[in-house]
Structure 1
Amino acid sequence: MLNLRQLEILRAVVQYRTTIGAAERLGMSQPSISTAVRHIETVLGFKLFERVSNRLVPTDEALILLEESEPLFHLRDAVNQRAADLKAGRIGRVRVASTAELSEAILPRVIADYMTRHPQVQLALETRPLDSVLQTVENGLADVAFVIAAYERNALNYQTLATLRAVCLCSKDDPLARMSAVTARRLVERPMVGPQITNRIGLMISEAFRASGYDYRPNVETRFMNAAARIVREGWGITLVDELTAMTAMRPGLVVVPFEPALTFDLSAALPRGKVPSRQAQHFISAFEVHVGRRLEDLRASISGG
């Protein structure tokens, strides 16, 4: 019989004991409050207030109604708070997919910082090969995927977050370490570990070598760039990978040397085409982009300074 707004008016009049006080509390006019009270009494068929010395004293019936309706106000307040939390990005869910390189080089720090600021958010991270990562977004199993050197897919849109440069990771004792830049000719002379040509990054490296007149034939092939960088970290060979992956594997005794002619890879967020990302997904992408930008700034400063 009564809606929540009518109960809210009744509650305000009981609280302030005057229609003027209730009107100020609810942002209504005093005549509107008086009219609403009379209407409620007509609908219910009994009086809700007695006027005593210009004050409205609630009847027992009015107090019983308020007692019964109090859980409704708690529920409304909870819903409003939840809406405010969602708007501010304090709660929600984000499903993230990524290739192994980014899961190692960037995402741990991004996730740690993000969850510190948004402790009530539920976050899931899937680490897979590039094709599988893109499929998770296409199939609705992930809200966003972070990938390097993706290729066009009809069901996806890409948001470029950064452009990564190819660099050589090698020992400081290697002759390459004394060069300002390395070329395909220099790399084919050294024991090399690198991405296999059956994946996107390996194919791009192979094409860069071929453009310089050389074949890309690493002695050790890996599916992921971070695996190649880890092998060099353990003391064998050299590798050509993106700069974030190289710096993640750095240790004392290793150096990073730029590759020429410049070879770059787009670091992108893959999103389902035709679907607006959730607020939480948008916030996470922004946090990822900011972190990558800062990290690249520091890495490039260290390379040029070294």
Structure 2
Amino acid sequence: MLHRLTHRQLEAFRAVIETGKVTAAADVLGTTQPSVSRMVSDLEHVTGFNLFERSGRQLVPTSEALALYEEVERSFVGLAEISRVIEDIRDFRRGSLMIAGMPALALKFLPDAIAAFVKAEPGITVSLRARSSQAVLRHLSSQQFDLGFAAIDNDHPIVARRPIFTAPMQAVLPIGHPLVAKDRLEPGDFHEQPFVALGAEIATRSETDVFLAVGNARPRIVAEAQLSASICELVASGAGLSIVEPVTAANFAAVGKVIARPLHPDQPFRYDLLMPALREPSRVATRFLELVEAQFDALLSY
């Protein structure tokens, strides 16, 4: 067994093969000529055969040395590739990001953030799944996803949850509606108005019902939908008024499809960030979150 074989001996051997001189090999390795000579001599002792013959001032590798060099070179090429991979990961030229998001964020907000991110970091591959908030929680509990974006009140023992952004719910109105003249809408403004409601199974629906009940407002429900985007499309088509979470309201207002107005009293809506609790977030995930938080600030300042 070659108990005394070292990586440094192989480095010296490779450098001498490629330069043909001990002095040149020492320069390549940043060491001294005696040190290289000693390492080559030690390697010859370990292998049990001569590695070089002298021809004037040149060292000529033996046939055994050339056979060994082929194997050594394969190893060094492999190490070089590993070094390149390390550099790629460090410099964000290689990596992946698995994201699960509630539809309110996964239909427009997150795709915009991802598009900006992959443009800035073209070596990163991003996967996005649009799921209900509870399904996002289940995805993160698998520990296979890096980030989740949801709106939930329950926790999971192996999922870390924290608020990432809180903003008030928004009234959305068709272009040209008379209530557009108001700076903010109160419960009474919705009384007997045609209204597009969230589905009864959506948690925010009950909060909206409480808001309307404060002013004894009884809007005329003409349609229901599960997604804020579907509701905004119905509002844009003139079906009625509604109240939706702020990101979707901002997206539709920004492109001129609806008019968004704040409510009084405020009805806060919280978006949650979910991450696997059993491991630290990757550098890629951390960088993406910086972009997401900046985009929240920019979008909701419309």
Q: Report if TM-score (shorter chain) is over 0.5.
A: yes
Q: 1:218 to 1:80 in 2, by over 3 A?
A: farther
Q: Residue 267 of structure 1: which of 264, 271, 276 is its match?
A: 271
Q: How far apart, in 1, do the equivalents of 2:99 and 2:68 lie?
A: 48
Residue equivalent to 1:169? 172
Identity of aligned pairs, percent? 27
1:42 Cα shift?
0.6
Residues 1:145 and 2:153 aligned together:
no
1:126 Cα shift?
1.4
Aligned residue for 1:192, secondary structure, equals: strand
Q: 1:141 to 1:178 in 2, by over 3 A?
A: same
Q: 1:201 to 1:71 in 2, by over 3 A?
A: same
Alpha carbons 1:205, 1:216 under 8 Å: kept? no
Alpha carbons 2:250, 2:300 under 8 Å: kept? no
| Structure 1 stretches lacking a partner, 5+ long | 300-306
Residue equivalent to 1:278? 282
Q: How far apart, in 2, do the equivalents of 1:83 and 1:272 lie?
A: 24
Q: How far apart, in 1, do the equivalents of 2:175 and 2:278 lie?
A: 49
Residues 1:205 and 2:208 aligned together:
yes
Per-residue Cα deviation, 1:132-172 (whole angstroms, up to 9, x for no partner):
1211111234221112x321303322243322321111123
1:51 Cα shift?
4.2
Q: 1:275 to 1:200 in 2, by over 3 A?
A: farther
Aligned residue for 1:65, secondary structure, equals: helix
Aligned residue for 1:124, secondary structure, equals: strand
Residue equivalent to 2:100? 97
Q: How far apart, in 2, do the equivalents of 1:275 and 1:100 lie?
A: 26
Aligned residue for 2:264, secondary structure, equals: coil
Matches within 5 A, 1:49-198: 49-147=52-150, 149-155=151-157, 156-198=159-201
Paired residue type of 1:152: N
Q: How far apart, in 1, do the equivalents of 2:145 and 2:210 lie?
A: 32
Q: 1:21 to 1:103 in 2, by over 3 A?
A: same
Per-residue Cα deviation, 1:31-66 (whole angstroms, up to 9, x for no partner):
432221111011112222234555544333323321
Give the TM-score, by structure 2 length: 0.86
Deviates more, 1:247-256 or 1:156-165: 247-256
Q: 1:205 to 1:21 in 2, by over 3 A?
A: farther
1:102 Cα shift?
0.8
Paired residue type of 1:143: D
Matches within 5 A, 1:246-257: 246-250=249-253, 252=256, 254-257=258-261
Alpha carbons 1:195, 1:223 under 8 Å: kept? yes
1:216 Cα shift?
7.8
Q: How far apart, in 1, do the equivalents of 2:215 and 2:144 lie?
A: 41
Aligned residue for 1:261, secondary structure, equals: coil
Aligned residue for 2:107, secondary structure, equals: helix
Alpha carbons 1:194, 1:218 under 8 Å: kept? yes
Residues 1:239 and 2:213 aligned together:
no
Q: Residue 35 of structure 1: which of 21, 24, 38 is its match?
A: 38
Deviates more, 1:13-22 or 1:210-219: 210-219
Q: Residue 46 of structure 1: which of 6, 31, 49 is its match?
A: 49
Aligned residue for 2:67, secondary structure, equals: helix
Residue equivalent to 1:302? none
Paired residue type of 2:135: S
1:70 Cα shift?
1.8
Alpha carbons 2:101, 2:136 under 8 Å: kept? yes
1:218 Cα shift?
4.2
Paired residues, number: 297
Deviates more, 1:22-31 or 1:227-236: 22-31
1:117 Cα shift?
3.5
Aligned residue for 1:122, secondary structure, equals: strand
Paired residue type of 1:107: L
Residue equivalent to 2:223? 220
Paired residue type of 2:185: V
Q: 1:282 to 1:25 in 2, by over 3 A?
A: same
